[in-house]
Amino acid sequence: MNQLIPETLSNNTEFHNNTGIMFYAFSDKSTPSYFQYSVLTFYISIVLVIGRVLRGILVTTSARIFITDMPQPDSILMLCESIMVYRMQGRLDKEEEMYFILIDILRSPEMIKAITGSSIKKPDKKIKTE
C-alpha cells in the first residue's frame, strides 16, 4: 500500500488520520490550443446546462397551471375539433375565425375559468331536519 502513496502524502499526518473517502484529482492547468476555454469553464457550463434542462423537465411552471388543470375542458376541445373539421372541409375562412377565437380564449385565464368552470368544490347542501 505504501508503494502506491506518493512520498509527500505518506509523511502527512492528516493523510493517516482521515477515515473518510479521499479524492485526489490531477489535472492540467492548460488546455489544448483548439479548446479556447479553461477546464473549469467547461465543467461549469455543462453543469448549468444539465441543471437548466432538468429544472425545465421537473418543475411545472405556474404560468401553465390554468391550462393543464382545467376542470371541464370539453368546450375548449370542441372548439379545437371544429377548427380541425373546418380545415378538412376546406373552409379556411371559418377555420381562421375559430382559431383566433381559441387564441383569444387561451390568452385570458379569466375567460378559460368562465368557460371551463371553477376548480373550487362547492359545499354539499345539508338537509335541515326539524
pLDDT at res. 120:
80
Task: Please give the model's pTM, rounded to 2 decimal places.
Answer: 0.49
Convert the pLDDT of each residue in 61-104 to its tens digit: 676 777 778 888 999 999 999 999 999 999 999 999 999 999 99
pLDDT at res. 92:
95
Q: Which grid coordinates belong to 64?
A: 401553465
Q: Which grid coordinates belong to 118?
A: 371553477
Q: What is the Cα–Cα distance from 35 to 126, expressed in whole angstroms?
A: 74
pLDDT at res. 11:
58
Average pLDDT over every residue of 17-43: 68
* Domain map (residue ranges) of the chain: 7-58, 62-116
Question: Mean pLDDT for the chain?
Answer: 78
The answer to whether residues 114 and 66 touch, using CB atoms and an 8 Å cutoff, is no
User: Where is pLDDT greater, at 21 or 89?
Assistant: 89
Class of residue 98 by CB neighbours under 10 A (exposed 0-12, middle 13-18, buried 19+): buried
* 100-125 CB burial, b ≥16 within 10 A, e <16: eeeeebeeeeeebeebbeeeeeeeee
